[in-house]
Amino acid sequence: MMSKKPLLMQVLALVVIMAGCPLSGSAQCIRQDETPVFRTTDNGVYNLYDENAPKFITPVPKGYKAVGISHYGRHGSRYYTGTRFKMAQLEETLVRAENEGILSERGKQILHSYQAILPAISHREGELTQLGRRQHEGIAERMYRQYPGLFTREATVTAWCTLVPRCMESMAAFCEQLARLAPKTPIEEEASARYLGQVSATQEYFLWYNVSSKKPIAALRAPSYNSIDPTSLRDALFTRPILPEKEMRDFTAGLWYIYMSIPGSDIRDTPQACAFRYAVDGKACEAGPGMAPIISDSLWDQLQYAELYTHLSEACGPVLHHSTLNIFMVEAILKLADEDLQGGKPFARLRFGHDTIIMAVLKDMGIRGWRKWEACDTLSQEQARKKTEAEWNTSRVPMASNLQMIFYRPKNARSQAPVLFKLMLNESELELPIEAVSGRIYDWETFKAYMAPRIEKGKAEALPYLKYPYPVYTKF
């Protein structure tokens, strides 16, 4: 992996986000010397799921047992989606440059190594890889091993997903593994518009009312992508310009995204994949000695910033998207958890969707590391903007990332002790902004009381953006 400096381009302030993004809950103020949240990795949402990463786990309080799980998982590793520049377009551009005699030697190396992998990845834009399936199988197995009492003949186990093939396949892999481990457990598995409100309020709203947020989202993303300067890459690949400026920016982003997606693909360990990555990052492998990366540190930083800005826009920007609609999904998830707890049976509610939705949930819950800061008596507007930008780290939502709420009840059925729960990100407990009962285990009623005004405020702030009423379904 090429070296990467801290994110630059602070001049690209998230002014639009900071000015217009609704904050669920009251303004958050801090001392200026509060310990910040530091970035640890820089591959963003293309990071691979690390099942061996250190975990923070609190022992279950004495006298309690697990009675339910509410889970939301991002799809597993996938191929490049092709949203910035199509796979075929990348080859076509390089081939045209070679035919016109303006492709550099490094450009030829990238072209020929890319042509070697293209047959294995073409026409697979956005598809789940086999590694993606194994990621979900592993998460499902660890869930079963940790909470076997939840997967019985009497348990309520449902699985729902967004209407995107890679999410459907991720759900299938997860449920197939559970079925192998707990063959007597009934699992209701559905990819249906009826349950979209539990996995993506945005998709439900757009599908039901036939509205879109593509234009406003594109407008919000534009400043970051328009500020990418592809000059260094263009000069390294071509002896004269071959694409207009905008298309060259898209070409640059496309090459970067394809490079980033290779470690999660099914060809990642092949000599062809090694040769392509070597042609891009210059790291020595069987293909030859080390050389300078084709994407400079400065350009890498710009691409990283554009990626971060995109997710901030979708999860926190003032548009009709996850930023505004997600609060309705959070409300639905909490209500269903309450119903399941009242039902008295073991339960597992499994949901499968996308990275930005997980980020928006964390933002809606006010989790440290995902907060939206506002100016207040101790924070200026500029300081609040910088804190929001500095906190968010998309690397913490890798492929197959997941949120899990684990619920506990007293073993003694006659006990009046409260229901407890914990919230985990990628199988490690999160610290919530409420008083803990023990470690990072919390009282469920206290958490609901904390969330109630946030939900109501978030729903009220969403109203100006709604073209039609929400929710579309009031009951299941």
Tens-place pLDDT, residues 129-182: 999 999 999 999 999 999 999 999 999 999 999 999 999 999 999 999 999 999
| Nearest by Cα to 89 from 232, 243, 236, 231 | 243
Q: For the chain, what's the residue count?
A: 476
In this structure, what DSSP letter does residue 37 have? P
Distance, CA of 56 to CA of 429 (rounded, Å): 5
**Above 90 in pLDDT, residue 334?**
yes
Q: Under a CB-based contact definition with an 8 Å cutoff, are residues 89 and 131 in contact?
A: no
| Nearest by Cα to 320 from 223, 221, 472, 217 | 217
Question: What pLDDT score does 224 carry?
Answer: 84
Distance, CA of 251 to CA of 110 (rounded, Å): 13
Beta bridge partners of 156: 347
Distance, CA of 241 to CA of 97 (rounded, Å): 9
Class of domain 15-78+133-212+325-465: alpha beta
Q: Summarize pLDDT for 8-52 with one digit per residue, the tens.
A: 333 233 333 333 333 333 334 333 333 343 333 467 899 999 999
Q: Summarize pLDDT for 263-304 with one digit per residue, the tens.
A: 999 999 999 999 999 999 998 776 667 789 999 999 999 998
User: Minimum mean pLDDT among 109-118, 301-310, 328-337: which range?
Assistant: 301-310
Q: Under a CB-based contact definition with an 8 Å cutoff, are residues 67 and 406 in contact?
A: no
- Tokens standing for 416? 């009046």
| Nearest by Cα to 52 from 142, 178, 169 | 142
pTM score, whole prediction: 0.90
Domain with CATH 3.40.50.1240 in the chain: 15-78+133-212+325-465
Distance, CA of 237 to CA of 247 (rounded, Å): 15
Beta strands in 235-330 (DSSP E): none
Distance, CA of 471 to CA of 194 (rounded, Å): 12
Distance, CA of 225 to CA of 446 (rounded, Å): 42
